[in-house]
Amino acid sequence: MRKNVLSLSIAAMIGSMGIANASVLDPSILANAALMPLAGAAVGAPTPATQLQLNAGGVGHALILPYYTAQSGNATVLSVVNTDPTNGKAVKVRFRGGSNSDDVLDFQVFLSPNDQWSAVVTKNPTTGYAQLTTNDKSCTVPALTAGVAQSFIDGRLPSYATATEKANHTSEGYVEIFNMADIPVVAATTSLYQSILHTSGVPRNCAAAAVQTTPLTDTLAPATVIANGFMAPSTGLFGNWTIINVAQTTTFSGGMTAIRAVDAGGNDAIGNYVFSPQSGTAATTTLTVDNVTADPLFRSVGQAFLTMDTDGTGGTAIPSIAIPAAYYDLPDMSTPYVPTGVASTAASPLAQAFRVTDALAVKSISNEYSTDPTVTASTDWNFSMPTRRYSVGVVYGTSAAAAVRRFSSVAAQDGGFGTVAQLAPFAAVPRSQVFYTGNTSLSGDRICVTAAGQKFYDRDESSKTSGAVFSPGSVATFQFCGETSVTTFGANASVLGATLATQSTGASAFVSGWGVVTTTTASNNVIAGAADSARTVGLPIVGSSFIKLINPSASTGTSGTYGITSGHRFTK
């Protein structure tokens, strides 16, 4: 009971929620000036995006929360802000489990201009599943009742997992958030824009916004897009996260990773419409799923898939999709977002996956660690790979031993997202594949990628590349097993209480200092196009270092526990 009260208290502290549904926009429709003018809105000609970039400033079209947790008494608070003073935003929020990016909860948030939405993730004390609670009044679809917890969902988790395992799958992972469409100013009182505006702190009519359920199609006309109250998505989102453990009086926090859609000059630009209704209806009823997602578990036989055997020595073609996609599965981060001047094809989401992967790819990761016993120091490093799902996923069998890898296209077996001919309309996209059969493996039902190496330093310039023996001891190099993994330094317990996708260094190289993990390997540099033969690529990894300290001299009644968060530094 005390945990429930705590969850509600945290939710009340950080914000609230609303309700809504809206109409639908087609990702194959190009963002262009003809779609922009709306009654009552003076809008200049837009600049279509040509590429995606990581934005160190933290504001963008898409956001990634690298790690959320509800394990071991932790609660994760997240907030999303619309900095656009003119347009509303139709935002997709999707929580993915840390093992294999399984969707464990997704919904939509409709942000009015200058709006903020926030919520908290905690563990249900009865079921052990993660749950989302908010008091925010901004419109959401489906409607989230203020103060009432929404449980995470296990429908995409392995059927053979125990109840405890399924609860753990929901309790750790990452979050992808992106602007599906702008909601421009329209004067009519019944418009979507006017419905989501707040009066005396409450949206005017979320229920009116929720009734728009036009299904997504491949041929939705621009007039329908405008009639539904949308236009091409622009930038303006930023987000923050905080992990709170009240019992331990420890807090970690940071900003979400932001990705911008930019033009040839590197300026913020607009993307394609990518709105899809929050509906469980099969997406294949009105569109070709292959044209709107690179997720290998959703795509059809038209892409000649390859599923690898568990030993990685061979594969067989799969003549059917692994999971039938519903409308709520779309859009995802591989849905074509950069206007190309041509209609979407089965290669389009592969190109989008290229773009977002390239925006996040790093060649090395550096950060600090401490296991100093005088202050009972403990350190976790988190590594999140939010785009790996768009090149390789796991098809669960009847047991973990029966799991197999499935790639987005048969070309992935030799390092390509597609052939040069397939990617010809997207010539500006770097043809480099970082997840394929040669650099991924399975450990049980989790995909693993091995780094090139690591080097640890103490505080006085001493260094060594060995001495940090990873658990089990046969693995001497960092491995990224699971989509969101946690590495604990030394023999201490995990700072974050992580249990899902973890490894330990065992005896750390030094008591305190810093280290660097190199991600670039020969297998990560396989090139599909000769024009990019000199390109070296890393891995699309984001994350932070979490250091917990205890002051042994803290007086009675004074908190002596401290949390230090520092985002990973990287080289591109």
Nearest CA-CA partner of 186 in 36, 26, 12, 304: 36
Average pLDDT over residues 174-193: 92
Lowest mean pLDDT among 275-279, 313-317, 338-342, 539-543: 313-317
Alpha carbon distance 19, 21 (integer Å): 7
Beta-carbon neighbour count of residue 164 at 10 Å? 10
143 pLDDT higher than 80: yes
Query: What is the tens place of the pLDDT at every residue in 83-136?
Result: 999 999 999 999 999 999 999 999 999 999 999 999 999 999 999 999 999 999
Cα separation values, 100 from 58, 82, 306, 543, Å = 26, 30, 18, 17
Alpha carbon distance 455, 510 (integer Å): 11
Query: What is the tens place of the pLDDT at every residue in 7-50?
Result: 444 444 433 322 222 223 233 333 332 333 322 233 344 688 98
Alpha carbon distance 356, 429 (integer Å): 10
Query: What is the tens place of the pLDDT at every residue in 251-285?
Result: 999 999 999 999 989 999 998 888 888 989 888 87
What is the helix (H) or strand (E) element at residue 193, kind and residue range?
helix 192-196
pLDDT of 220: 53
Nearest CA-CA partner of 180 in 73, 4, 301, 22: 22
Beta-carbon neighbour count of residue 467 at 10 Å? 13
Alpha carbon distance 528, 73 (integer Å): 46
pLDDT above 70 covers a percentage of the chain that reads 76
Alpha carbon distance 100, 94 (integer Å): 14
Looking up tokens 């006085």, which residue turns up? 460
Query: What is the tens place of the pLDDT at every residue in 146-173?
Result: 999 999 999 999 999 999 999 999 999 9
82 pLDDT higher than 50: yes
pLDDT category, 433, cuts 50, 70, 90? low
376 pLDDT higher than 90: yes
What is the pLDDT of the chain when averaged over all its residues?
Answer: 80
Average pLDDT over residues 421-434: 48
pLDDT above 90 covers a percentage of the chain that reads 48
202 pLDDT higher than 60: yes
Query: What is the tens place of the pLDDT at every residue in 38-48?
Result: 222 333 446 88
Lowest mean pLDDT among 184-198, 255-269, 352-366, 412-426: 412-426
Sorted by sequence, the CB contacts under 8 Å of residue 2 that are 6+ apart come out as none
